[in-house]
Amino acid sequence: MKILSCVARGYYGQSNVVEPMYIAFTEPLRALGHEVDHFDHFLSRKQAGPAVTAERLVSKVRQGGYDAVLYLTSCQTANEINESVREAARFAPMIAWNSDDDFAWESQTSHMASAFTFMFTTYRHVYERNRERYPNLLLSQWACFDGFGDFEKAKDLDFTFAGQIYGDRVASSRYLAKHAGLQVFGLMSGRVRTPAFLYWPGIRKVTFRFPSIYGAALDRYEDVAAIWNRSRISYSPMESSADPKILQIKSRVFEQGLSGTVMVCRQSPGLDEFYEPGREFIPYDDLEDCVRKVRYYLKHESERARIARAYRDRTRAEHMWTQRFQKLFADVGLAKKGAA
């Protein structure tokens, strides 16, 4: 098939940092034999505005001869995209991929649903509650890209987190660093290892210019994966950035699956549909329980390695992006078209 992938290439608008979803929505499709074009609707919107971006999208789809358009909806409003998506859908099936529907469905993505030919959510409860009202709503999930995992890499880091530190992650990471030796890598990681007063508003104006205090971003997705590849156990916070009381299934649940690390996380709703607790990952009830379990598995390497291997095997067997896309196309009736 000929596919147009509408997803940002730059991570949060950074031209030098590739967005993981750009990789996920291009390379696995090409690995399946499809021809993939890219339209960066986020960059276009930033540079030229919503109206020009809408015109560009419709023109590209009308002239492109696409069998399907995959469209990441995050950070856009229905008013900005509905008319253009409906028009583009005259020329190719418009397939939306949503994230954060657990808190954004009612306020945002539900208002876009009727514009798309099909709309995918990663939340089963959102799907079950809304599938009768929106017959074009379907269910899928994040997955793993086969390109950065290195199961055999020497595990010279015990317990790590790789990513951005914000909100509730600050307190939890500080606790785990103190009691379980958590090492944190990425933007704002300095908030875990340096005194809190350095981040007071008045002092922050001075200290923010020093990356050694705040912690620099991991500039490439490969850099994040490299930390997972070296880690015996990886802390995987599931709390939503919008509301820490909401537990999500984050993309990292699958992305780190081939690295040889063991995922330790709170038991998010529906997670056991994808991985078996205690066998393929380590669930915990609270931070004290997390500390106990991390200490235990760091002392019992054979048991840790067994879980890491089971995690790898389940990911490889069921949770690769190539498998997700094969099912997605089958669900929308495009499987018979096959690869290009």
pLDDT of 302 strictly over 80: yes
Residue by residue, what is the 3-state secondary structure of the chain?
CEEEEECCCEECCEEEEECHHHHHCCHHHHHCCCEEEEECHHHHHHHHCHHHHHHHHHHHHHHHCCCEEEEECCCCCHHHHHHHHHHHCCCCCEEEECCCHHHHCCCCHHHCHHHCCEEEECCHHHHHHHCCCCCCEEECCCCECCCCCCCCCCCCEEEEEECCCCCHHHHHHHHHHHHHCCEEECCCCHHHHCCHHHHCHHHHHHHCCCHHHHCCCCCCHHHHHHHHHHEEEEECCCECCCCCCCECCCCHHHHCCCCCCEEEEECCCCHHHCCCECCCEEEECCHHHHHHHHHHHHHCHHHHHHHHHHHHHHHHHHCEHHHHHHHHHHHCCCHHHCCC
What does the pLDDT read at residue 6? 95
* Percentage of residues in the chain having pLDDT higher than 90: 64
What does the pLDDT read at residue 40? 92
* pLDDT per position as a tens digit, 94-151: 999 998 888 889 989 999 999 999 999 999 999 999 999 999 999 999 999 998 999 9
CB-side neighbour CA atoms (13 Å) of 271: 28
pLDDT of 165 strictly over 80: no
Q: Pseudo-torsion of CA 145, 149, 151, 153, nearest 10°? A: 180
Alpha-carbon distance of 273 to 206, in angstroms, equals: 47
pLDDT of 276 strictly over 60: yes
What mean pLDDT comes out for the span 68-91?
89
Residue scoring higher pLDDT (244 or 252): 252
**pLDDT bucket at 18, cuts 50 / 70 / 90:** confident
* Percentage of residues in the chain having pLDDT higher than 70: 85
pLDDT of 296 strictly over 80: yes
Sign of CA dihedral 327, 333, 337, 340: negative
CB-side neighbour CA atoms (13 Å) of 220: 4
* pLDDT per position as a tens digit, 185-197: 876 655 556 656 4
Alpha-carbon distance of 96 to 48, in angstroms, equals: 22
Of the listed ranges 22-26, 162-166, 214-218, 326-330, the least confidently predicted one is 214-218
- Output the CA angle 257-18-243, nearest 5 degrees: 65
Of the listed ranges 49-53, 194-198, 241-245, 283-287, the least confidently predicted one is 194-198
* Cβ-contact 176, 182 below 8 angstroms: yes
Alpha-carbon distance of 108 to 76, in angstroms, equals: 8
Q: Which residue has the tokens 């607790």?
A: 277
pLDDT of 163 strictly over 90: no
What does the pLDDT read at residue 43? 85
Nearest to 153 by CA among 228, 224, 223: 228
Q: How far is CA 3 from the centre of its chain?
A: 21
What does the pLDDT read at residue 94? 98
Beta bridge partners of 160: 183, 234
Nearest to 53 by CA among 42, 61, 45: 45
Check: pTM over 0.85? Answer yes or no.
Answer: yes
pLDDT of 213 strictly over 90: no
pLDDT of 330 strictly over 60: yes
What does the pLDDT read at residue 224? 87
What does the pLDDT read at residue 81? 87
Domain architecture of the chain: domains with CATH: 2-143+320-337 (3.40.50.2000), 157-318 (3.40.50.2000)
pLDDT of 204 strictly over 90: no
